[in-house]
Structure 1
């Protein structure tokens, strides 16, 4: 089974609906939205960074996810706030960035150039740290950097539309 880190662009209003419905014990709207694309969560409002998620975290922090939570850069990829809405296929509770957080995160992530991140890519160390999915080779730096660029473009679209971003590992 492969793990992917998924990202969803949603309105702040929809994010609040997810939270309120869960607190009231009503229908899990997030699960419903994920099960069937609709006007609240159309297909183009979601993406993932494939198997590069922990590689990206490593490039930002020098650590695997399990050790990176104390690093302030981790919240830009893994979310700042916990979303107490269960997803049976998520490894941990989903997390989120508010629309304001997304804009701040995009600004910080845009400061990290490909050259800086490429210099941090170390396949030997990534394998020693058991960075998912393992078996890293130096040629895969481009793969991780492309996924990081994809994520920044996704955040840019969310910032442009004043949207929050929900993320979950599945």
Structure 2
């Protein structure tokens, strides 16, 4: 089973609703038309697929820990709660936390990510998806991580400017 990561903007009202009714997460994730900004703006979404664990490692130097706020892909925020097991995990971050995270991501350089990339070590650390030494096709995992990181920086900067809360869903 693939574990894919989606980052999505949420309003504070949506954040509160998800915390009160975690079993509605699937409905929330599937409803792309009715969950826009009440002021007329559209929600933002970034799908980083299987890259979430590699990015966590490159941002923090650890598979499951690291320092806040850069450990946000696997830790932090508020756990949405008891969601059905096949839905994965979901955590939400406040607009203030999003602004701090956007600022922290701006401070991370591409060179830092490149220095931390070590396919042998990532394989040994069991970083998902576990194909670091032998990628499944002609892709370059490092370049893929750098590309996702660039998108992540832009996404979080835009969310910070808008004052959005954040939902991180891995499932």
The answer, yes or no, to whether TM exceeds 0.5 is: yes
Structure 1: gaps of 5 or more residues = none
1:135-164 per-residue CA deviation (whole Å, 9 max, x = no partner) reads 214942111111111112221221121110
User: 1:55/1:46 Cα in 2 relative to 1: closer, same or farther (>3 Å)?
Assistant: same
Question: Would you say 1:81 and 2:78 are equivalent positions?
Answer: yes
Task: Give runs of aligned pairs for residues 34-73 of structure 1, distance below 5 A.
Answer: 34-41=29-36, 45-65=44-64, 68=65, 71-73=67-69
Number of corresponding residues: 161
Contact kept, 8 Å, 1:61 with 1:74, in 2: the verdict is yes
Question: Would you say 1:119 and 2:115 are equivalent positions?
Answer: yes
Q: For residues 75 and 115 of structure 1, what CA distance do their matches in structure 2 show?
A: 18
Structure 1's consecutive aligned runs of 4 or more residues displaced over 6 angstroms after TM superposition are: none
**Any idea what SS the aligned residue of 1:165 has?**
strand
Structure 2: gaps of 5 or more residues = none
Q: For residues 159 and 88 of structure 1, what CA distance do their matches in structure 2 show?
A: 31
Q: For residues 17 and 150 of structure 1, what CA distance do their matches in structure 2 show?
A: 28
Q: For residues 155 and 44 of structure 1, what CA distance do their matches in structure 2 show?
A: 13
Determine the structure 1 residue equivalent to 2:160: 159
Q: For residues 92 and 36 of structure 2, what CA distance do their matches in structure 1 show?
A: 15
Q: CA RMSD in A?
A: 2.4
Shift of the alpha carbon at 1:110?
1.0
In proportion to residue count, which structure has more helix? 1
Determine the structure 1 residue equivalent to 2:28: 33
Match of 1:97 among 93, 109, 115: 93
Q: TM-score, normalised by structure 2?
A: 0.81
Shift of the alpha carbon at 1:87?
4.5
Shift of the alpha carbon at 1:29?
4.2
Contact kept, 8 Å, 1:49 with 1:148, in 2: the verdict is no
Shift of the alpha carbon at 1:119?
0.7
